[in-house]
Structure formats: structure tokens, C-alpha cells
Amino acid sequence: MSLYWSHCGTTRARAWEVTGTPKLDSYDAVAELGRLDVIVNAVSAARPTKPGPFGGGNFKEADLEAFRGWTGAVAEQAFVFLSEGVRAEARTLIQVTGGSARRAAKAAAR
């Protein structure tokens, strides 16, 4: 992944060839530079009422309160993240989840 530091557009105005980015040479280019490209949400909203597995456990042991602690806040957070990201006209929304993402990353590193 190519990254560069852009100090208020100075790099894009003076050294666009070095960074491989479009030249910052007009008010339209400045407006485009100010667009929101990516929003990353990497927080867990789960509020389990007691320790244990996702959702409060298997159906035989779980109760509705435990299930809501795991799922209600997460669903609300997802709605807020996605709806606000769309309203902000972000070009990319990235949701990083908890244990599942960590397990997948660990498996991919093998």
C-alpha cells in the first residue's frame, strides 16, 4: 500500500510527481482533496451482561438479556456507522470486527 504525508495539500501542489498523485492546481482540486475517502470503525459495542460466549451461550443456557447484551448495541453501532458514513459521502467504509477478524488475520499469517 502506498502512503504519503500531505501537509494541507502542500505536497500535492509542489511535488505531485514524487507522490504519484494528481497535481493540486485549482479550487476544484482543493475541494476534491478535502473529500472524505475512508472511515474505519474498529470498536466493539457489545455489552455482555455476564462473561461467556457470543450471544450469551447456546440456546439451552442463554437468556434474552444476555443475547441483547451481545447483539443490540452491535446492531445499533453498525446502523450508525453505515448511515453516517453514507451521509458523509465517504468513498470507503471499513468495519473491523473483534475476535473473528483476529482469528482470520492469525490464520492468514501462517
Q: What is the pLDDT of residue 2?
A: 46
pLDDT confidence tier of residue 25, bands split at 50, 70 and 90? confident
Q: pTM, whole model, 2 decimals?
A: 0.53
Give yes or no for residue 19 having a pLDDT over 60. Answer: yes
Higher pLDDT, 21 or 81: 81
19, 28, 98, 101 from 3: Cα distances, Å: 9, 23, 26, 23
* 3-class SS letters over 40-100: EECCCCCCCCCCCCHHHCCCCCCCHHHHHHHHHHHHHHHHHHHHHHHHCCCCEEEECCCHH
